[in-house]
Structure 1
Amino acid sequence: MLSANIQAGSSTRGYHDYVARSWSHVLPAGNKRGSLDAIARLAGEHDIVGLNESDPGSLRSGFTNQTHYLAQAAGFDYWSHQPNRRVGGVASSANGLLSRLEPREVIDHALPGRISGRGVLMARFGEGDDGLLIAIVHLSLGAASRASQLAFVAELLHDHPHAVLMGDFNCPIDRPEMQALFRSTRLQPPDCVVPTFPSWRPQRAIDHILIGDGLSCANACAMPAAFSDHLALSLDLHIPSAALR
């Protein structure tokens, strides 16, 4: 399993690039296709991939749906995306799912927040309450908005033993809003903290793959997602066979 904020294929190799290369976030320039190909090679080593900041087909991506492109390049039969935010009419951002397993159902939910444009993309595998539930989020920078977003997510996942919540949370595990999430759901704090941001000198663990108490995992590690400002987070997820029937 892999969670990756791909920054729409843009390159950020230091804080100075946020200013010096800001044009790459709104214009179809730079080697975005090369970055996507590198991300596809990484994604192809996994069975389920959650994406953040995947452009669904705006000017900056050359009108390429990046989730679809990655699915084709990495050989995934199933993919879905959730466009969330448009920036000045030239850029757009989406959550994305790549899967080698066929989802039984895919659902989009808009998340609350002071500024609109955040969502949770949910996919169900298997039958009934014991099936596997994958939720992909990209949460707000502000603590108050994150708290309301996580409270909304907690209502969706509250008693599910085989839930996985993954994505860019924009905060570490020890934040009060994260602790409230654990109290309200069967999601478990991770056994180890893996720094993912910034990618060139990772110091903050703000990308997470959280799993329910009916699942187990191993081998969590961070790895480059081309030249994104986030490292991708990978782990081995052990799923009971009943959760996929």
Structure 2
Amino acid sequence: MTTPNTRTLRLLTANIQAGSSTRRYSDYVTRSWSHALPAGRKRSSLDAIAQLARGHDIVGLQEADPGSLRSGFTNQTHYLAERAGFNYWSHQPNRRMGGVASSANGLLSKLEPVEVQDHALPGRIGGRGVLLAKFGEGNEGLLVAVAHLSLGTNSRMSQLAFIGELLSDHPNAVLMGDFNCLADRPEMQALYQKTTLQPPGCAVPTFPSWRPDRAIDHILLSSNLQQRSAEAVPAAYSDHLALAMEIEVPAHVVR
């Protein structure tokens, strides 16, 4: 129950696959054109994601196109911010394939951040990043990080160690995104050891969206923050389900 000393926030993380549709494994081959061309139902997919996002306070996006051919040169994070009624948004382009396709982390917020940073993540292949937004003053404020980690274990290990260093001095932190691994994998230990982030209380499968059996999308909370609920919800036509979570934070960490 929310008390005068706490505040409830509704969080959402979603790998939106740039609005492309995937409903079975064979679609990765038969519909591969949708990852390079603006055709398909991308706009209606974005509108459905905007409807979902509207009910949340802070939303982290992965695989949001920042404005290339496949999105019709639409910055999808900006589009979602306008359609869903978010006053504050930021994005971090981190992978470009010529002018045909690009990918970005994105942040939508109804709270005004006092600072936004983006950092490139280490890895054998470049093009991954973490987007940080700070709310409230000093290290006691709320820090929200959005990341999309690599498929390879060794790269993830170095990326999680890097993120751990970024978050180590922040007792009120949230890390959300597509981790491409389960929360109890060995490479996750560096994160738990360097920060006060806690493993999730229960696994919520989010991948693949048509038959979810892998919990690879996460919202991790510092020990000062309390989870009230968590559920997987459809993110339109993406191959991932979105993860929604309601949390309680100390009232003094956000204004």
Q: TM-score range by the shorter chain?
A: over 0.9
Q: Does 1:48 align with 2:54?
A: no
Code of the residue aligned with 1:113 in structure 2: it is G
Matched to 1:185, the amino acid is T
**Which residue is equivalent to 1:163?**
173
Answer yes or no: is 1:84 the counterpart of 2:94: yes
Select 2:130's aligned residue among 97, 120, 123.
120
Q: Indicate the larger mover: 171-180 or 7-16.
A: 171-180
Alignment of 1:54-133 (within 5 A): 54-133=64-143
Secondary structure in 1 aligned to 2:187? helix
Is the 1:95–1:137 Cα contact (8 Å) retained in structure 2?
yes
Correspondence 1:116-155 to 2 at 5 A: 116-155=126-165
- Give the superposition deviation at 1:107: 0.3
Runs of at least 4 residues off by over 2 Å: none
Deviation at 1:202, TM superposition (A): 0.2
1:13 matched to which residue of 2? Answer: 23
CA distance in 1, matches of 2:93, 2:175: 18
Deviation at 1:89, TM superposition (A): 3.0
Deviations 1:142-186 (A, max 9, x none): 000000000000000113211000000000011111122111110
2:214: which partner in 1?
204
Residues 40, 73 of structure 1: 8 Å contact kept = yes
Q: Would the aligned equivalents of 1:162 and 1:243 in 2 still touch at CA under 8 Å?
A: yes
Q: Is the 8 A contact 2:184 2:199 kept in 1?
A: no
Per-residue CA shift, 1:24-73, capped at 9, x if unaligned?
A: 00100101000000000000010100000000000000000000000000
What is the aligned-residue RMSD (CA, Å)? 0.7
Q: Structure 1 residue 30 and structure 2 residue 74: aligned?
A: no
Cα distance in 2 between the residues matched to 1:64 and 1:73: 13
CA–CA distance in structure 1, aligned partners of residues 67 and 179 of structure 2: 24
**How far, CA to CA, are the matches of 1:187 and 1:54 in structure 2?**
26
Bigger drift between 101-110 and 81-90 goes to 81-90
* Percent pairwise identity: 73
Higher mean C-alpha displacement, 35-44 vs 176-185? 176-185
Residue 251 of structure 2 corresponds to residue 241 of structure 1: yes
**8 A Cα contact 2:38 2:71, kept in partner:** yes
TM-score (norm 2): 0.95
Instruction: Give the drift of 1:102.
Output: 0.2
Residue aligned with 1:18, SS: helix
Distance between the aligned counterparts of 1:221 and 1:88, measured in 2?
A: 36
The alignment status of 1:228 with 2:235, answered yes or no, reads no
Provide the aligned length of Structure 1 versus Structure 2: 245
Give the Cα–Cα distance (whole angstroms) in 2 for the partners of residues 218 and 233 of structure 1. 13
Corresponding residue for residue 227 of structure 2: 217
TM-score, structure 1 as length reference: 0.99
Question: Does the 8 A contact of 2:139 with 2:169 survive in 1?
Answer: no
Q: Distance in 2 between matches of 1:87 and 1:20?
A: 20
Contact persistence 1:159–1:186 (CA under 8 A): no
